[in-house]
Amino acid sequence: MSTETDFYSLLGVGRDADAAALKSAYRKQAMKYHPDRNPGDAEAEARFKAVGAAYEVLKDPQKRAAYDRYGHEAFTQGMAGGGGGPGMGGAEFSDLGDIFETIFGSAFGGGGGGRARPRRGADLRYDLNVSLEEAFHGKSSEITVDIATACDVCSGSGAEPGTGKRRCETCSGHGKVRVQQGPFVMERACPTCAGRGEVLEEACHNCMGEGRVDTEQVLEVDIPPGVDNGTRIRLSGKGEAGPMGAPAGDLYIFVHVKPHSVFQREGTALFTRVPVSFTAAALGDTIEIPGLDGEVHKIDIPSGIQSGKQLRKRGAGMPVLQGRGRGDLVVEVMVETPTRLSARQKELLREFRETETGDECPESRGFFDRVKEAFGG
């Protein structure tokens, strides 16, 4: 197969394909032409390697930009600038970081003229939904994530078993090449070896030289009691494996607590609104609230309580995350006016109204006294 075949055509995607579409297309092509599925088929093997090479370029934003601009020439020695001669006038830097790296060294670019160290794998994020009860008690949860892990065939080295690495011919093992930008001659990471100074003698057939493959992983996550929305749990080394044996990144679990039908949470406090009858509010009563801790909490309603009054039960709220103690349970009383009264109940209320003096409801009496004073009686 010609090495000049368009990378987008190889993967069967348009030039505007996003990262997800590229990855999906690559997986389909790699599975279709994998040597294990096509034993002895040289054409399928060549196609398998070609789609791997195409995906390797297009999944990297900088490499993809260079390919979109220059095509295959962006990755040939002439374009890379082995000597920085007159033919290099058309080469461009992907951004100002390349120039700063050359002039100021590791403070901007991290290279400073030496070989590039294997870059650490990317950190990953996983959003986990839990109920308020699970946030209260804590739990151990299994999650399934799609992660790039070290290739089992080459043990993460990227090299076909039985082969190794050799010095990069483009940069002569220095990891840097010289390019000319106008009157300036600059150094940048070698595009052939990505600044490592070495290339694989033969890429692993399973991971295409990447040293990692996408696998489905089942991981166990311990959710501590007291977690809240936005709580972040770090699983060290459980992120994406680094290329060619580099260390793996971390996996961050972001916790989202689902709304509850009874309680609203604010920090370690639990809030709930409880309707009480107007007789209970007038005479006083005791109500029972089932808690997340499995206990029944008794709340005393003092006589004469008004709507909106909050009553607090100390230590009956949420646990303190990674600490001791618990917050409070806060009950907001909502006095409910009866809407369905029997004839006898109405008669009793009329009798009560006839005995009213105005002192029974001081807030109401005070308001109308102010009205009379404001409007002259």
Cα distances (angstroms) measured from residue 95 to each of 62, 81, 98, 234: 9, 17, 6, 33
CB 265 within 8 Å of CB 360:
no
Rounded Cα distance between 32 and 27, Å, is 8
Amino acid at 244: M
Q: What is the largest CA-CA distance in the chain?
A: 108
Give the C-alpha separation, 276 to 294, whole Å: 23
Q: By three-state DSSP, how is residue 251 classified?
A: strand
Report the candidate in 164, 174, 152, 175 with the shortest Cα–Cα distance to residue 203.
Answer: 164
Strand order in the sheet with 232-235: 124-130, 251-257, 232-235
**276: helix, coil or strand?**
strand
SS3 356: coil
Cβ pair 252, 123 in contact under 8 A: yes
Yes or no: say if 51 and 10 are a contact pair by the CB < 8 Å rule. yes
Distances (CA, A) of 298 to 111, 276, 312, 313: 67, 14, 11, 9
- Rounded CA Rg of the chain: 35
On whether the CB atoms of residues 64 and 22 are closer than 8 A, the answer is: no
Q: At what angle do helices 42-58 and 61-70 cross, to 10 degrees?
A: 110
Per the listing, tokens 């090299």 go with 159
Q: Answer yes or no: is 361 a known binding residue.
A: no
* Binding-site residues from annotation for Zn(2+): 151, 154, 168, 171, 190, 193, 204, 207
* Binding-site residues from annotation: 151, 154, 168, 171, 190, 193, 204, 207
